[in-house]
A and B are shown apart, each in its own frame.
Chain A
Amino acid sequence: MPRLSYRRALTRALADELTRDEAVFLLGEDIQVGASLVTTGLAKRFGTDRVRDTPLSEQAFTSFATGAALAGLRPVIEFQIPSLLFLVFEQIVNHAHKFPLMTGGQCSVPVTYLVPGSGSRTGWAGQHSDHPYSLFAHVGVVTVVPATPADAYGLLVTAIRHDDPVVVFAPAGAMDVRDDVDDLVPVPLGRGRIHRFGDDVTVVAIGHLVHDALAVAEELADQVSVEVFDPRTLYPFDIDGLTESVARTGRLVVLDDGNRSCGMAAEIIASVVERVRLLAPPRRVTRPDGAVLPFAPALDRAVQPGRDQLATAIHLTMKDSA
């Protein structure tokens, strides 16, 4: 079984789609050299016309991609920093996302926005450590956060083939994950994955936190049977899959690397309790309200949801229903 890193899985997905479909091309800053180590070698293989370095003009090249998509191409944009999405929220939300409806179905805007290294990168401080996936889920832009190399490949391929805009968050905390991968296949949007079956509590974990949830589940294995559910796509969300899981376990804890207010965890919990009567109040482990990640490594870690918090939340949930 070949071992594949998450980062290389992204590279493979880009290369395969560039090969498969002439309409696919890449835009971004320093992607010809491959500063993010994701587009490595692609300019050489596919030419600098299809792997295009842009000036530092995020707003212009994001809308350039919208225009190119309206004209029949399938652009993929790589963003160097997650917070650059704030700069182009306008271009993605107010233009790319709204065009199909506003034109009464006259067009589609198949653009993929790829953010390699989202979330904390340890030591990159306040303006480079955001994880703004909930914002895109909120506005209804298709949002995926793969946790594993196979899903990184499969979801990026699906994103590129999808006829609407898709934001792909590739968490910094997952980029170096390696896995045995047999076959690389597209992964459908809106379909979660149960990484570990359990009877007592369902833990929903997003992105790189899936690996933390699995570690905690192992640690607690002799005390509580934890099921780990990875939604993979945050919008559209696999509420049917999660409902099925929680209906079995009766308990829910969500681990979410986003800010607490109006965050993904809040949405997940609300969606579940609309459908399932739980045995204990649900809990969530998130970044604090309004989090700005401080620089010093201990502070950076303190603001991110961690394994200890998750273990505590699981224990409390079990106690509440005892």
Chain B
Amino acid sequence: MTDADPVRLYRTVRLIRRFEQRAVELVHGGQIVGGIHPYLGQEGIAAGVCAALGVDDVLAGTHRGHGHVLARGADPARMLAELCGRVTGLNAGRGGSMHAADLSIGVLGANAIVGASGAIITGAVWAHRRRGRDTVGVSFFGDGAVNEGMLLEAFNLAALWRVPVLFVCENNGYATTMPVAGAVAGSIAGRAAAFDIPAVQVDGQDPETVRVAASAAVDRMRAGGGPELIEARTYRFDVHHTFEHAVRLDYRPPDEVTRARTRDPVRIQGERLRDSDRAAVDAEVEATLDAAVRFALSSPEPDPADALTYLYASGLTARTGGGS
């Protein structure tokens, strides 16, 4: 099931990198309102993990979630349209950067509440398996989430009921400005150990290393194993959120940032390709994103009269705010 093709793995990290860079430009240009949490520097994790998944599998991401959705194979044009709040977006413009979801490929959404997705994925995987599918799930979360009780409850439930969920902690060293050392007593892997959940630490900057670790975990889970945890050590190359481009916050030593940026997942994976292959992928990704930007910016904005369409799946309609 695993996709071990190094060219495709490179394409994924490159696509996420360039998507994010263009999205940041669109934030600065005012076409994306509200800003984004760029996934820059962490691309290898989503790419490596998603390469280990099959079609029936499900995942849920985070506020820093573009990479997870793209790595799973969502259409970059509809993804970008969503960020721009257009009707053609994945969520018809109702979700935006922090909630982009594509249920048709098993992306149950980015979840903007830290630590919230683990239990949702656990329930979804359990339900799919009860209905006879061979589904495994992935819950991505940051180092900040490991202090949320909700997530630790989900660890317990998944382990207790042996639900095959791969918990992927993207440890980028900070929760907004809070360093891990200032927030995490004990260790991340130690939390897994408390529930007898096997855990490994991997270099999240190397997409292939992540893919190998995720594939091994997925194989064990498909063979009947319970949940596992991967702590992927990573670093975000840019800001927590694009508001920091306007407001300088002083919490990461500049030399730490410079040093971390030398371990670039796009470069690391790119060096495994022949120059001509890499150039071909780069060109194809640029063309895809050129088209995505054109599509997003030329798509219609939603009609304000339809603001609460989709509020109820049952078709219930809400009273309006009145005044007329």
Judged by a CB distance under 8 angstroms, whether A109 is at the interface is yes
The contact of B156 among A57, A90, A94, by CB within 8 Å, is A57
User: Can you give 8 A-B contacts (C-beta < 8 A)?
Assistant: A60-B118, A66-B119, A66-B120, A71-B123, A90-B116, A99-B109, A104-B92, A106-B104
The interface on chain A, measured as residues whose beta carbon lies within 8 A of the other chain's beta carbons, has a size of 44
Q: How far is the CB of B66 from chain A (nearest CB, A)?
A: 16
Complex alpha-carbon distance, A74 and B128, angstroms: 13
Q: Given the complex, which residues of B lie within 8 Å of A102, measured CB to CB? A: 91, 94-95, 99, 101, 109
Residue pair A106, B156 in contact (C-beta under 8 Å): no
Residue pair A63, B119 in contact (C-beta under 8 Å): yes
Query: Which residues of A in the span 55-85 have a Cβ within 8 Å of any Cβ on B?
Result: 55, 57, 59-73, 75
The contact of A64 among B92, B111, B126, by CB within 8 Å, is B126
The contact of A67 among B91, B103, B121, B160, by CB within 8 Å, is B121
The interface on chain B, measured as residues whose beta carbon lies within 8 A of the other chain's beta carbons, has a size of 49
Q: Which residue of A lies closest to B317 (CB)?
A: A236
Complex alpha-carbon distance, A72 and B130, angstroms: 10
Complex alpha-carbon distance, A275 and B122, angstroms: 47
The contact of B157 among A60, A99, A274, by CB within 8 Å, is A60
Binds A, one of B34-42, B184-192, B304-312: B304-312
Judged by a CB distance under 8 angstroms, whether B318 is at the interface is yes
Q: Which residue of B lies closest to A65 (CB)?
A: B123
Complex alpha-carbon distance, A109 and B124, angstroms: 11
Judged by a CB distance under 8 angstroms, whether A298 is at the interface is no
Residue pair A107, B313 in contact (C-beta under 8 Å): yes
Residue pair A104, B94 in contact (C-beta under 8 Å): yes
Q: Which residue of B lies closest to A161 (CB)?
A: B314
Judged by a CB distance under 8 angstroms, whether A108 is at the interface is yes
Please name 17 further chain A to chain B contacts, defined as beta carbons within 8 Å, in addition to the given A95-B116, A100-B313, sorted by A numbering: A57-B153, A64-B122, A66-B119, A67-B121, A70-B103, A70-B123, A71-B123, A71-B128, A91-B116, A102-B91, A104-B91, A104-B92, A104-B95, A105-B313, A107-B108, A109-B313, A164-B313
Residue pair B318, A140 in contact (C-beta under 8 Å): yes
The contact of A68 among B103, B104, B126, by CB within 8 Å, is B126
Complex alpha-carbon distance, A66 and B89, angstroms: 24
Q: Which residue of B lies closest to A50 (CB)?
A: B130
Judged by a CB distance under 8 angstroms, whether A163 is at the interface is yes
Complex alpha-carbon distance, A190 and B316, angstroms: 10
Q: Which residue of A lies closest to B165 (CB)?
A: A67
Q: Given the complex, which residues of A lie within 8 Å of B70, measured CB to CB? A: none
Residue pair A106, B131 in contact (C-beta under 8 Å): no
Q: Given the complex, which residues of B lie within 8 Å of A65, measured CB to CB? A: 123
Query: Which residues of B in the span 47-99 have a Cβ within 8 Å of any Cβ on A?
Result: 58, 89-95, 99
Given contacts A60-B119, A103-B94, A107-B103, contact A68 B153 (CB under 8 A): no
Question: Which A residues form the contact surface with B (CB < 8 A)?
Answer: 49, 54-55, 57, 59-73, 75, 90-91, 94-95, 99-110, 140, 142, 162-164, 189, 236, 274
Complex alpha-carbon distance, A63 and B119, angstroms: 5
Complex alpha-carbon distance, A54 and B90, angstroms: 35
Given contacts A73-B127, A95-B120, A106-B91, contact A100 B103 (CB under 8 A): no
Judged by a CB distance under 8 angstroms, whether B1 is at the interface is no
For B141-153 the 0/1 string (1 means CB < 8 A from A) is 0000000011001
Given contacts A60-B119, A140-B311, contact A68 B127 (CB under 8 A): yes
Query: Which residues of B in the span 4-37 have a Cβ within 8 Å of any Cβ on A?
Result: none
Complex alpha-carbon distance, A70 and B109, angstroms: 11
Residue pair A101, B314 in contact (C-beta under 8 Å): no
Interface centre among A105, A108, A162, A189 (most CB of B within 10 A): A105
Q: Given the complex, which residues of A lie within 8 Å of B154, measured CB to CB? A: 60, 63-64
Q: Given the complex, which residues of A lie within 8 Å of B247, measured CB to CB? A: none
Complex alpha-carbon distance, A185 and B238, angstroms: 59
Given contacts A68-B123, A99-B109, contact A106 B101 (CB under 8 A): yes
Judged by a CB distance under 8 angstroms, whether B125 is at the interface is yes
Given contacts A64-B119, A70-B120, contact A100 B128 (CB under 8 A): no
Q: How far is the CB of A205 from chain B (nearest CB, A)?
A: 23
Residue pair A164, B314 in contact (C-beta under 8 Å): yes
Q: How far is the CB of B72 from chain A (nearest CB, A)?
A: 14
Q: Given the complex, which residues of B lie within 8 Å of A106, measured CB to CB? A: 91, 101-104
Q: Given the complex, which residues of A lie within 8 Å of B125, measured CB to CB? A: 67, 71
Complex alpha-carbon distance, A71 and B118, angstroms: 15
Residue pair A61, B127 in contact (C-beta under 8 Å): no
Query: Which residues of B in the span 261-316 have a Cβ within 8 Å of any Cβ on A?
Result: 308-316
Q: How far is the CB of B151 from chain A (nearest CB, A)?
A: 9
Complex alpha-carbon distance, A73 and B126, angstroms: 10
Residue pair B89, A59 in contact (C-beta under 8 Å): no
Given contacts A67-B125, A101-B94, A104-B94, contact A164 B316 (CB under 8 A): yes
Q: Given the complex, which residues of A lie within 8 Å of B314, measured CB to CB? A: 108, 142, 162-164
Judged by a CB distance under 8 angstroms, whether B113 is at the interface is yes
Given contacts A68-B127, A73-B130, A140-B318, contact A59 B153 (CB under 8 A): yes
